Amino acid sequence: MKILVTGKSGQVGYELERSLQGLGEIIALDRSQMDLSDLIQVRNVIREIKPDLIVNPAAYTAVDRAETEVELAMRVNGEAPGLMAEEAKKLGAAIIHYSTDYVFDGSKTSPYVETDPTCPINVYGASKLAGEQAIQAIGVPHLILRTSWVYGMRGKNFLLTVLRLAQDRDELRIVGDQHGAPTWCRTISDTTAHIVAQAASASHSQDWWQEKRGLYHLTAQGQTTWAGFTEAILANAVLPKKPTVTAISTQEYPLPAKRPGNSVISCEKLINAFCGLPTWDQALKLCQD
């Protein structure tokens, strides 16, 4: 099986290139080789490689900047996934694509399930929803995996920001009224590899994809707030002196893009279909070890 992985320099793409080893011929490309803002290049690369499976973690992820770069965010997160799905369908291939909790407005008081109505409150969420809908409309064998609060030990993310700020601050004022599940990028890549292994071992691949295709939530289990996440990061970190964490309200930390108050999404569908998932604090400890 020939597996094309996009965005290999990103958090999830970097881990996927490693987690998927042994499951096929992995062709992992970075932005210089496959830029999702260049739709002609995307089409040409796929036609040249002719993959059996496209795994697409590449995305426009600058949530606040997306408010002013609407066209770019929509092209990368909305149009490009649809184009990949079109090309995959022509090849008889499948696609695994990653989306976000930000497709919801956060007003629900319990965890979101896959069938809940979507209502993004920022451009990033709207662009990711457009990508989901584009793939679904093509009718290609697909898995769309929504995740949340992704972090790791490389790139730009909340974990690394906290560790950097903790070096020279006595206090960290962090939002404490947004709830979600911090998810290690390796949890995403390892779960994806587990799913791909199941697909590869199926006696009838088309039947497997027909049965399993669709939308799933993939996050660590449990929930916390950004302030709670910060406290856990500091508890695991080895620092000469640790700052105190003060929980503040969303209103006290205004940003260009609105964030959902509730980003907790239920993963029961994925767990029942494929495999278990770690709790967010277990995964965080492994990441920081």
Nearest to 7 by CA among 63, 68, 54: 54
Q: Which tokens go with 63?
A: 């949530």
- Residue 197 CA to residue 195 CA, distance in Å, equals 5
Dihedral sign of CA atoms 63, 143, 116, 180 in order: negative
Contact 190, 248 (CB under 8 A): no
How many helices and strands (H and E) does the chain possess? 11, 12
- Residue 246, SS3? strand
- Residue 198 CA to residue 200 CA, distance in Å, equals 5
Which residues are identified as catalytic? Answer: 124
